[in-house]
Amino acid sequence: MELSELKNRICNCFAGEPEDLQNILQIIDEDQAVFPFSEFEHLICQLMEINELTFQQYMEIRSEYINENPNLWIFEISAPRGFGEKFAQTYVHGKCPELKKPSKKLDSDYSGQYDMWLDGIRIEVKASRAVDSGSSEPLYIKALARNTHKPYLMNFQQLKPQCCDVFIWVAVFRDEIVIWIMNAKEVLNNPQFSVGQHRGNRGNEGQLHIKHDNIQVLDRYELKDNDLGEFIRDAAKRY
């Protein structure tokens, strides 16, 4: 349930005259809402004031929306490191407790160039969130569901295939979290991979653009069950 659907769901509780609802909606549209207040709490209060929405109905709509959008809190993480490192790496580790934080003890050549280690496999974790490309609203408002028909672009940036064996990509939708696992050679040879992300960079650093109309190229790399460790090992064997 996206925000437009939420608004329709609330309005469907109105049983009065259509013109009365339109008057309320006009008031809402003309209002200059400021966080933490929003058009939705204004609409809900207006309908409850005229007894067109009960508290029980409100709680049902609220529960339904929260259940259908369990990942919205992730879109509220503003710091890039907070999202990419703290959330994504913690999420991945939760899927596979065998993963270890790399160190010189595990890899004498380690100097911070990758994020995780598993049985000698050097792993880099990248993450991105799916948001409406045509919207300038905050991330939590333009967050998209996986089955959306709206355009979106997820950039997996600062990819250095020469520095790791396997990439884990975490894609966050408002209703689902998707994990793809590819080895470094598969990333380097992927037609969506562009080398030279930053002016003057050396080596093979680049980025991979995943859009609504090319996301299917990653289908074969998607984790379908919970055995992330085995999926990582399989990806490394293909290297």
Predicted pLDDT of residue 202: 52
Predicted pLDDT of residue 129: 93
47/79 same-domain check: no
80/181 same-domain check: yes
Predicted pLDDT of residue 201: 47
Segments forming the whole domain that contains residue 128: 72-237
128/45 same-domain check: no
What token pair was written down for 1? 């349930």
Predicted pLDDT of residue 204: 63
Question: In terms of Cα–Cα distance, which of 63, 43, 65, 66 is closest to 53?
Answer: 43
14/104 same-domain check: no
Query: Taking the model in full, what pTM does it have?
Result: 0.82
110/220 same-domain check: yes
89/171 same-domain check: yes
Q: Are 181 and 219 in contact (CB under 8 A)?
A: no
Alpha-carbon distances, residue 78 vs 138, 178, 179 (angstroms): 10, 20, 21
Q: Are 1 and 64 in contact (CB under 8 A)?
A: yes
pLDDT along the chain (239 residues), means of 10: 81 88 87 78 92 92 91 88 87 95 93 94 94 89 91 88 94 95 92 66 73 90 92 92
Residue ending a domain, among 68, 84, 109, is 68
Alpha helices, DSSP H only, in 31-142? 39-49, 55-68, 72-75, 80-81, 88-95, 139-142
Look up the CATH number of the domain holding residue 101: 3.40.1350
Q: Which bin fits 22, alpha (ψ -120 to 50), beta or left (φ > 0)?
A: alpha
Predicted pLDDT of residue 100: 95
Number of domains in the chain: 2
